[in-house]
Structure 1
Amino acid sequence: MKLKTTLGILFAFICISLNAQSDFRDGFIINNKQDTIYGFLDYRGSISNAEKCIFRKDIKSENITYSPEEIKGFRFTDSKYYISRSVEIDGEARPLFLEYLLNGIVDIFYYRDEIGDHYFVDNGDGTLYELKNEEKEVVVDGTRYIQESNEYIGVLKYTFKDSYEILQKVDNISLDHRSLIKITYDYHHKVCTDGQKCIIYEKKLPKIKKKIGVFFGAKGMSLSQTREYVDKLYYLEDSEFGFEIFPTYGLFYNMDMPNINERFYLQFECAYSQTSFTTSNSFIDPVYSRTHLNDISLKMKTINSSVFLKYEFPQGKIRPTFEGGGFFNYHFQTNYQRDLEVIHAWGNTYFTNQTNVSPFKNSDYGIILGIGLNGNYVKEKELFLDFRYQRGLGMLSRLNTNTFSINIGFQIW
């Protein structure tokens, strides 16, 4: 199977899964009559949530999609809260669902689009002021530099003008959720005199979950020539090493990443495998018309280490996944043998030789792409089945390794 075909299958699987998967959670919408209607909301990313709200009255009912003009807002139970506001984009007013981060004397809102993150403050007068930090190119003594505008610093100083203590902290504030929420929360409690509550709507992130387990699998590996070898490796030219299948087993360590995306996981693996390749080829010396016959065998015992990001689609007892990352293989024991026989044009043997000096490196590295399924077995322990493709780039110049594997893993702790 060619690399392009493999990548095409993986890409198609990802696209189909992305379109098919939904993640409905408890929540409510607020319609334009200020009525609160409880049901289920599709928990999507920040970009999608800014554009639309997908609602179900009950978990099995049909989807209803609302635009920012059709409802006042929506909220996931004890989690994110979005309200409809009009913001200016490229000189034009555009209605969006803004994530309500903090409700106090000063309100903070947020949305994300293809360009990046956007933050706004409302000082209580109903006007949204965007907090900007645009990158600009400046030229100093003929050298070009990228400089941040830090415009948001001035807006925040105006916003927090009633507290000298808070003003002293503004210059050190980063433009992110945590920093903005903290300083605005502190400002509220410095200047609030009427007992008004300051409410943080930002979703509370769960603790990082860690999993340790074992996995077993089978790998199929081939070696493919990418260009002509250098002259000293002539005996490898047009070698057909074949496709070898061998077992593998090892340990995995998995941790989720709630501060980035609760559907992403970082997985480390360490495994053991051993394999062998054989090939035979011939080469005719153009000067003396002698035929060089080469019989080559290569046996390797390998420690396979890999790290990759794993995305798990939500809901269901069986959840599709896809993954991408890198690997490093260390061949801690290599047995190489090349038997050479040189034959005259009339058939007599001219020369024989055997060497155990390997031209191959004792390591390989490259990329990993994969798809799979996650589920649970006894006591909510995780079980996974995946199919992966590895492209190795470092075993020998002008030679790549192509590895397909199927693995089944069991969480132990």
Structure 2
Amino acid sequence: MQAILIPQFVLKILYQSFVALLAVLALPFAVHAQANFRPGYIVALKGDTLRGSVDYGSGNRSAHECRFRADNAAAIEKLLPNQLQGYGFPHDRFYQSRRVPAQNPAADTTSERLFLEVLVQGPASLYYLSDINSGNHYYFRSGNSPVQPLVQLSETVTINGSKYTRKNPLFRIALAEAFQACPAVHSKVSELPFASSSLIRIFQQYNACVGGSQIVSAVANAKQRSYFLLEAVAGAQASSLRFDGEIPMKNTPISGGIRPVVGLALQQYLPVWANRFGVRIELLYQTQQYSNEFFAPSAYAYAAYQEVRIKFDQLRVPVLFRYMPLNGRFQPFIEAGVSVAFALNSSNEYRYRAQPTSTYSPWRPILESPRGSEESVLAGLGASALLPNKRHLTAEFRAERTNGFSEAVAITTIINRAYLLLSYDLIKSR
């Protein structure tokens, strides 16, 4: 009896299926990749507000231009920061045109006018700019003063001949000067972390302290807190088992074929870099069956055919860290993590027949006491699409390597798995 499938062939099929599914998910977004229009508005230089549809860009594009059309039949206007006071989306992001100095003012005194995302607007205003090349930038404005950057530099210092990297929180100096009108807030600046949620919170506290009215964007409120999504997970996994050590079937790949996987996932979005990081924990149920017959020239001091069959059901608990580099309705991601699996039931056995006989020996255990748990490392990539019903559909390809089920000192087991998984939100996204 031969292996069910060649592992490389299985991996190729799963990879091709994943690419095809990803293409299907991406198709409606690729068509509108340069025209993701949503209900929005622009504020003209004279202060007039015009409503229509605005391209929901991100990063550099949203900072350098606003694409607007009055209605679906109208021509698209490309408006620059010197042509508008700002633009926005109801109950979502809004941007203001501001002249921004260089991020490193000690080395560069140039400036340019950009659309900055407003996080907090009031007596002291906080702005945000995401740049795919240089990361996240924060700016502030106190009263009617010019916009200033909030900067934390990394410096290399030498102490006793050894080099160290340390943070130089220049942003604290700027905020300490700006917040002098409120001693209660001013005293907190010296320990202020350089993080979105901390900056938003202290600007809100200062504005409340000095008694001015303020506006906090919906996105800023979202950035201050983490939130969870519960998802249903279903898919397939292909695996390959290999024994090593003092055992006749060592170094012989044993295929597990393709088997279903089902479960639940809880994902927490963290308020780091606009919720681009997430922690994910899953509870997956999967069943596996391995079988193979192979020829062992001198396994028992004589040539013999050996047949192996292994079955087990598992509850697997992966814990993953996910990074999503882009915001929007279509989000590619990469992830990595660890997993532990618990065997609900298992069996591992083999039999053999000596050449040239045709009679098999009775089935007997390969390992008398297999380990009841299994640990692994895993990594994956995929993409998530936000559907019109405010739920995400996610496709993912994942690879995993485990330590198998052997506790014997002289025998090791290694299992490699490849997954193709689909996830669907059970609750609506915010």
Instruction: Give the TM-score of the pair, scaled to structure 2.
Output: 0.72
Alignment partner, residue 88 of structure 1: 101
Task: Give me the whole-angstrom Cα distance separating, in 1, the residues matched to 2:98 and 2:152.
Answer: 21
Check 1:47–1:266 CA distance in 2 against 1; reply closer, same or farther (3 A cut).
farther
Mapped pair 1:303 → 2:321: no
Q: Which residue, 282, 296, 314 being the options, matches 1:283?
A: 296
Q: Which residue, 212, 216, 222 being the options, matches 1:200?
A: 216
Aligned-CA RMSD value: 4.4
Mapped pair 1:223 → 2:240: yes
8 A Cα contact 2:283 2:316, kept in partner: yes
Identity of aligned residues (%): 17
Task: Give me the whole-angstrom Cα distance separating, in 1, the residues matched to 2:65 and 2:82.
Answer: 10
Q: Which residue, 151, 154, 175 being the options, matches 1:132?
A: 151
Task: Give me the whole-angstrom Cα distance separating, in 2, the residues matched to 1:406 and 1:167.
Answer: 50
Task: Give me the whole-angstrom Cα distance separating, in 1, the residues matched to 2:343 and 2:316.
Answer: 9
Mapped pair 1:157 → 2:176: yes
CA apart distance, 1:128: 2.5
Task: Give me the whole-angstrom Cα distance separating, in 1, the residues matched to 2:240 and 2:193.
Answer: 50
Alignment partner, residue 38 of structure 2: 25
Long gaps (5+) in structure 2: 1-8, 406-411
Alignment partner, residue 54 of structure 1: 67
8 A Cα contact 2:394 2:422, kept in partner: yes
CA apart distance, 1:335: 0.8
Task: Give me the whole-angstrom Cα distance separating, in 1, the residues matched to 2:394 and 2:135.
Answer: 35
Match for 2:112: what amino acid? R
Task: Give me the whole-angstrom Cα distance separating, in 2, the residues matched to 1:230 and 1:266.
Answer: 34
Check 1:188–1:272 CA distance in 2 against 1; reply closer, same or farther (3 A cut).
closer
Mapped pair 1:271 → 2:284: yes
Alignment partner, residue 129 of structure 2: 111
Check 1:82–1:120 CA distance in 2 against 1; reply closer, same or farther (3 A cut).
same
8 A Cα contact 1:100 1:202, kept in partner: no
Matched ranges for 1:9-408 at <5 A: 13=22, 16=26, 19-20=30-31, 21=33, 23-59=36-72, 61=74, 63-89=76-102, 91=108, 92-113=110-131, 114-191=133-210, 197-201=213-217, 203=219, 205=221, 217=234, 219-223=236-240, 230-239=244-253, 241-242=254-255, 244-250=257-263, 252-255=264-267, 257=269, 259=271, 261=274, 268-285=281-298, 290-307=302-319, 309=322, 324-326=335-337, 327-343=339-355, 347=356, 355-358=364-367, 362-365=373-376, 366-370=378-382, 386=395, 388-395=397-404, 399-405=414-420
Please give the secondary structure, in 1, of the residue aligned with 2:71: coil
1:194-245 residue CA offsets vs partner (Å, 9 max, x unmatched): xx63333463646977665766x563523166xxx75524523344x34524
Task: Give me the whole-angstrom Cα distance separating, in 2, the residues matched to 1:313 and 1:87.
Answer: 23
Task: Give me the whole-angstrom Cα distance separating, in 1, the residues matched to 2:277 and 2:80.
Answer: 28
1:293-330 residue CA offsets vs partner (Å, 9 max, x unmatched): 22111111211333555979966xxx898774554433
Check 1:259–1:356 CA distance in 2 against 1; reply closer, same or farther (3 A cut).
same
Please give the secondary structure, in 2, of the residue aligned with 1:157: helix
Check 1:141–1:209 CA distance in 2 against 1; reply closer, same or farther (3 A cut).
closer
Task: Give me the whole-angstrom Cα distance separating, in 2, the residues matched to 1:220 and 1:197.
Answer: 56
The answer to which structure, 1 or 2, has the higher relative contact order (CA under 8 A, 6+ apart) is: 2
Task: Give me the whole-angstrom Cα distance separating, in 1, the residues matched to 2:417 and 2:155.
Answer: 44
Match for 1:203: what amino acid? V
